[in-house]
Amino acid sequence: MQTALQFGPVLIHLDRLLAGLVQTIELAILSIVIGTAIGVLGATGRSLGPRWVSWPIAAYVELIRNTPLLIQLYFVFFSLPLFGLKLSSNTAAILALSIHLGAYATEILRAGIESIPEGQIEAAKSLGLSRYRIIRHVVLAPAIRAVYPSLSAQFILQIMGTSIVGAIAAEELTAIANNLVMQTFRSFEVYIVIAVIYFVLIQAASLLFAGLGKLMFRWKV
């Protein structure tokens, strides 16, 4: 039995899909910004901090990297209210995604920091630079430049990772698509449209990150 594709019942809900796309982009941007900040602090503390700082960061990284993102999402949304902290679906999604990215960003940035020659740091100390300026200009700046391709690839994975937050009722693109499937009974057409939207989104994000890399790292180490 052959069934003709009918995109009409899906495309009449294009405004809802676009609203879901906007929500997906917002979740991705906020979690990338917060997760990257966590990664910078985590990598700096683990590589340059004392052991009492390094060990808890290492434990956090191992815990997050060895458990599924979906479980982390459920933990934030369903477990935190037991401790009196009730979050909305979107806030819980941003928090879980940020914590998840932070662990991976910590390891990526740590690899960049540890690639910096020790002599380069010693030379900065001999010039009388403050610890803050050494970490910012001599360590972090070239480290981020070295690992930026890996970091931007993780950002792309983060964008695609937002597709599971519908599990806690966050209204992102995939969640809206699942609702449309139940309303229109055109699952094949809905997921074709969603796949196209995600493809365009990821391609645009890849070009954006590549352009930002060229803009930020025009200088040479």
The CATH number covering residue 183 comes to 1.10.3720.10
pLDDT digits (tens, 9 = 90+) for 77-99: 999 888 888 899 999 999 999 99
How many separate domains does the chain show?
1
pLDDT category at 180 given cuts 50, 70, 90 is: very high
- 221 has pLDDT over 90: no
Q: How does DSSP classify residue 68?
A: -
> What is residue 126's three-state secondary structure?
helix
In a domain, 159, yes or no: yes
Cα angle vertex 90, ends 86, 96, to 5°? 80
In a domain, 1, yes or no: no
Q: How does DSSP classify residue 134?
A: I
Please tell me the least confidently modeled range out of 96-105, 147-156, 169-178, 192-201: 169-178
In a domain, 30, yes or no: yes
Cα–Cα distances in Å, from 98 out to 151, 176, 214? 14, 22, 25
In a domain, 3, yes or no: no
In a domain, 144, yes or no: yes
Q: Which range of residues forms the domain containing residue 123?
A: 8-216
pLDDT value of residue 153? 96
In a domain, 221, yes or no: no
- What is d(CA 19, CA 11) in angstroms, rounded to the nearest whole number? 13
Residue type, 88: S
In a domain, 39, yes or no: yes
Average pLDDT over residues 156-185: 91
In a domain, 83, yes or no: yes
pLDDT digits (tens, 9 = 90+) for 36-90: 999 999 999 998 888 899 999 999 999 999 999 999 999 999 998 888 888 999 9
- pTM of the entire predicted model: 0.91
Q: What percent of the chain has pLDDT over 70?
A: 97
